[in-house]
Amino acid sequence: MTDTKFPPEKNLPAGYVPPKVWKWESESGGAFASINRPIAGPTHEKVLPIGKHPLQLYSLGTPNGVKVTIMLEELLAAGHKDAEYDAWLITIGKGDQFGSGFVEVNPNSKIPAMMDRAPKGGGEPVRVFESASILVYLAEKFGAFLPSDLRLRTETFNWLFWQMGSAPFLGGGFGHFYSYAPMKIEYAINRYAMEVKRQMDVLDRHLADHEFMAGSEYTIADMAVWPWYGRLAAKDAYDDAGDFLSVDEYRNVQRWRKQIGERPAVKRGSMVNRTSGDPSTQLHERHDASDFETKTQDKIGKA
Ligand SMILES: N[C@@H](CCC(=O)N[C@@H](CS)C(=O)NCC(=O)O)C(=O)O
């Protein structure tokens, strides 16, 4: 594809011209390059472990994973005893998401993925993948954090789907080119910085006169948005991205992210399957509520 308006010398690397047909030839470099593949399906046989609880979560403490562990901890804190769960670690950097057992739970090979082995009404275990689908499934199963009033329910879904559509621009777009790519490309960074700042402004204006995402009630929409945009606002994402994007200026987002971050269940949920940062905040696997006290990496000394 030659383009006379934008000559190849201006491309990156200079002179690069996309071939007629793209071929999977070599790694592009950068974080995650070694696990990226243009095909789906398993790469190896691996049976997933099953613990003692009805809910089996296969995940990692990334923003998409944390949405679900926050929800599970909130359900338990609200007294839903059947929300007890085993959280198993899926190390995506090592390709665990391409094991045959994981692919059976999520054919898309991405965390988080969950099996409900005691579904409502009985019957075969239910597989649930896509973080928003898991949040809705749990909210419906336990009748919690999703308003039944159609107006409020719709507003919850509005923001839940907003998050699912918007975060790829933050993570896959901005985060990738600002932090993970093997070179800094001004055009790409500018394009995604612009979009992420616009998204932060959307949130900031909304949160100016709404306590929570869906209004006066804390819902699964907050649980979905917080791990992405709350972490960015807290300068806890993509190296110096918080300063680069001047996140302090989003005062209403700051108020909201602090308020949500103080919830004990959010603190606990943020520790589950976490494999970086302060060892006392990393609980690689969670099989019992007491694990938060006894099995963090500082206590078991494997940090
Ligand atoms: N839309 C999916 C996105 C899940 C996703 O992108 N997960 C990432 C980690 S945050 C992953 O598993 N990546 C592994 C890979 O791409 O191979 C969801 O919300 O569940």
The burial class, CB within 10 Å (0-12 / 13-18 / 19+), for 83 is: buried
The verdict on the CB of residue 106 being under 6 Å from ligand 1 is: no
Q: Say which CATH superfamily domain 46-145+273-303 falls into.
A: Glutaredoxin (3.40.30.10)
What is the structure's pLDDT at 36?
A: 85
Output the six-digit token pair for 126: 């239910």
Q: What is the mean pLDDT of residues 64-91?
A: 98
The span from the CA of 296 to the CA of 282, in Å, is 5
Mean residue pLDDT of the chain comes to 95
The span from the CA of 16 to the CA of 7, in Å, is 10
The CA 64 to ligand 1 mean position distance, Å, reads: 7
The verdict on the CB of residue 199 being under 6 Å from ligand 1 is: no
Check residues 35 and 14 and name the one with the higher pLDDT.
14
Ligand 1 atom 15, closest CA: 110
Confidence of residue 5 (pLDDT cuts 50, 70, 90): confident
The predicted-structure confidence for 133-155, as pLDDT tens digits, reads as follows 999 999 999 999 999 999 999 99
Query: Would the pLDDT of 196 be above 90?
Result: yes
What is the structure's pLDDT at 35?
A: 82
What is the structure's pLDDT at 222?
A: 99
What is the structure's pLDDT at 283?
A: 98
The verdict on the CB of residue 273 being under 6 Å from ligand 1 is: no
- Closest C-alpha among 253, 208, 215, 210 to residue 232: 253
How many percent of the chain have pLDDT more than 70? 95
The predicted-structure confidence for 106-128, as pLDDT tens digits, reads as follows 999 999 999 999 999 999 999 99
| Direct distance between the N- and C-terminal alpha carbons of the chain, in angstroms, rounded to an integer | 49
Lowest-confidence segment of 15-29, 186-200, 221-235 by average pLDDT: 15-29
Asked if 88 contacts 97 with a C-beta cutoff of 8 angstroms, the reply is no
Q: What is the phi-psi region of residue 123: left when phi exceeds 0, alpha when psi lies from -120 to 50, beta otherwise? A: left
What 3 state SS string does the chain have? CCCCCCCHHHCCCCCCCCCCCCCCCCCCCCCCCCCCCCCCCCCECCCCCCCCCCEEEEECCCHHHHHHHHHHHHHHHCCCHHHCEEEEECCHHHCHHHEHHHHHHCCCCCCCEEEECCCCCCCCCEEEECHHHHHHHHHHHHCCCCCCCHHHHHHHHHHHHHHHHHHHHHHHHHHHHHHHCCCCCHHHHHHHHHHHHHHHHHHHHHHHCCCECCECCCCHHHHHHHHHHHHHHCCCCCCCHHHHCCHHHCHHHHHHHHHHHCCHHHHHHHHECCCCCCHHHCECCECCCCHHHHCCHHHHCCC
Is the preceding omega at residue 38 within 30 degrees of 0, hence cis?
no
Q: What is the mean pLDDT of residues 189-213?
A: 98
Segments of the chain assigned to CATH 1.20.1050.10? 150-269
Calculate the CA 195 to chain-centre distance: 19
Output the six-digit token pair for 93: 């950097």
Asked if 48 contacts 105 with a C-beta cutoff of 8 angstroms, the reply is yes
Which ligand 1 atom is nearest residue 129's CA?
Answer: 20
What is the structure's pLDDT at 10?
A: 87
Q: What is the phi-psi region of residue 111: left when phi exceeds 0, alpha when psi lies from -120 to 50, beta otherwise? A: beta
Segments of the chain assigned to CATH 3.40.30.10? 46-145+273-303
Q: Which of 64, 129, 134 to mutate to test the pocket of ligand 1 (most atoms within 8 A of CB)?
A: 64
The verdict on the CB of residue 111 being under 6 Å from ligand 1 is: yes
Check residues 31 and 8 and name the one with the higher pLDDT.
8
The verdict on the CB of residue 67 being under 6 Å from ligand 1 is: no
- Closest C-alpha among 289, 233, 231, 237 to residue 69: 289
What is the structure's pLDDT at 4?
A: 66
What is the structure's pLDDT at 207?
A: 98
- CATH level 2 (architecture), domain 150-269: Up-down Bundle (1.20)
The CA 195 to ligand 1 mean position distance, Å, reads: 20
Confidence of residue 27 (pLDDT cuts 50, 70, 90): low
Query: Would the pLDDT of 303 be above 60?
Result: no
Query: Would the pLDDT of 29 be above 80?
Result: no
